[in-house]
Amino acid sequence: CSHLGRPKDGPEDKFSLGPCAERMGELLGQDVKLAPDCIGEEVAALVNDAKEGDVIMLENTRFYKEETKNEPEFVEKLAAPFDLFVNDAFGTAHRAHASTEGVTKFLSPAVSGYLLAKELEYLDGAIQSGEKPMAAIVGGSKVSSKITVLEALLDKCDKIIIGGGMVFTFLKAKGLDVGTSLVEDDFVDTAKEVMEKAEKLGKEILLPSDIIVADAFAPDANTQTVSADAIPDGWMGLDNGPETTKEQKEFLTDCKTIIMNGPMGVFEFEAFNKGTFGIVDILADLTKEKGAVTIIGGGDSVAACEQSGRAKDMSHISTGGGASLELMEGKVLPGVAALADKK
């Protein structure tokens, strides 16, 4: 079973899992039957009539609002036709939903699939016991969305690279002018605290030394490369400069384990993708040439790796955005905690 999208009021054709069943059939080389629902007598009959080796896909579980509410009566109906449960959906393991956590109360054994096990091995394993020196690359637009994971990684890692829009909150915390760059004023003090904590722990934080700035947030904006301490008024930082990429390569050269979460700039615009693609190349080369374990922690980082053509060279590309973040923050994932083989 699975979900697709966020249906508002019951079934919607555009959120049907029909295309998913068809594609799974192509991958398996056999017919995959799409059940007309995810609960009810028709589903039970389809399951009961199935022969060994048959594959049935249940219709979108989110066609019922009870799925996300983990409503007990719905959970029991969802589990009713089945004997055991295998969760291989890491991307939803941070949700205590009916199809991820609820059904484990009615089905035994409830275990992880190979993908979920691999995600935990790499993400959780690297954070808890990765080979040192260990580095984290934390990017993205806002300190507010990454502060918890940043603080958690600061405790575990030897080195931290900060990139993306959140850089400018840190630069402002250092007393620098940042032009019209994105800044979260409410988190300037938080950024100061992170830098002070790193100093106390003897950890290194690397911020960009040069910035590609633009006179507008647009793919065809005028640009220039400036020192991080010389961003002009009326200009905004949208990517790392070339000197920063060189410094990042040197900074990471001895690292055995590297976790990346978030891009270095607005890589969706070609003019501002060099910083992100540059650090992706650094990680890919460290894996191929030095055997470093490189883990790409979901979301935009995965998209950047795919676009750069280097995804295949990384040790592990996570399939979870929010799940990756929460695991790196040290949170318990309900969909994992509910499994019999969670250890």
For 5-48, give the secondary structure using H, E and C: CCCCCCCCHHHCCHHHHHHHHHHHCCCEEECCCCCCHHHHHHHH
Non-local (6+) Cβ contacts of 103 within 8 A are 75, 78, 79, 82, 85, 110
Which segment, 142-156, 199-213, 297-311, is predicted with the most confidence on average?
199-213
Distance in angstroms (rounded) separating the CA atoms of residues 211 and 275 = 9
Distance in angstroms (rounded) separating the CA atoms of residues 269 and 224 = 15
Distance in angstroms (rounded) separating the CA atoms of residues 336 and 246 = 39
197-251: pLDDT as tens digits: 999 999 999 999 999 999 999 999 999 999 999 999 999 999 999 999 999 999 9
Using DSSP's 3-state secondary structure scheme, residue 339 falls into: coil
> What per-residue confidence (pLDDT) applies to 299?
77
Cα–Cα distances (Å) from 297 to 16, 137, 291, 300, in that order, read 28, 10, 19, 9
Distance in angstroms (rounded) separating the CA atoms of residues 7 and 325 = 25
Query: Would you give the distance in Å from CA 231 to the centre of its chain?
Result: 31
Pairing verdict, β 236-240 and 210-214:
antiparallel
Strand partners, 161: 137, 206
Distance in angstroms (rounded) separating the CA atoms of residues 71 and 67 = 7
Reference 277, options 316, 248, 236; nearest CA is: 248
> What do you get for the CA distance between the two ends of the chain, in Å?
24
Cα–Cα distances (Å) from 239 to 71, 166, 209, 271, in that order, read 45, 11, 11, 9
**Residue 69: pLDDT band with limits 50, 70, 90:** very high
Distance in angstroms (rounded) separating the CA atoms of residues 138 and 142 = 10
121-134: pLDDT as tens digits: 888 888 888 899 99
**Residue 341: pLDDT band with limits 50, 70, 90:** low
Concatenating the DSSP letter of every residue in 264-285 gives SS-TTSGGG-HHHHHHHHHHHH
**Residue 185: pLDDT band with limits 50, 70, 90:** very high
Distance in angstroms (rounded) separating the CA atoms of residues 188 and 168 = 9
> pLDDT averaged over the chain?
94
The average pLDDT across 170-174 equals 97
pLDDT at 3 over 70: yes
Cβ pair 31, 58 in contact under 8 A:
no
Can you tell me which residue has the tokens 């060279």? Answer: 313
**Residue 298: pLDDT band with limits 50, 70, 90:** low
**Residue 343: pLDDT band with limits 50, 70, 90:** very low
Distance in angstroms (rounded) separating the CA atoms of residues 93 and 234 = 43
> What per-residue confidence (pLDDT) applies to 163?
96
H or E element in which residue 245 lies: helix 242-252
- Residue 273's CB: how many other CB atoms inside 10 A? 21
DSSP state for residue 124 in the 8-state scheme: I
Q: Which residue has the higher pLDDT, 172 or 326?
A: 172
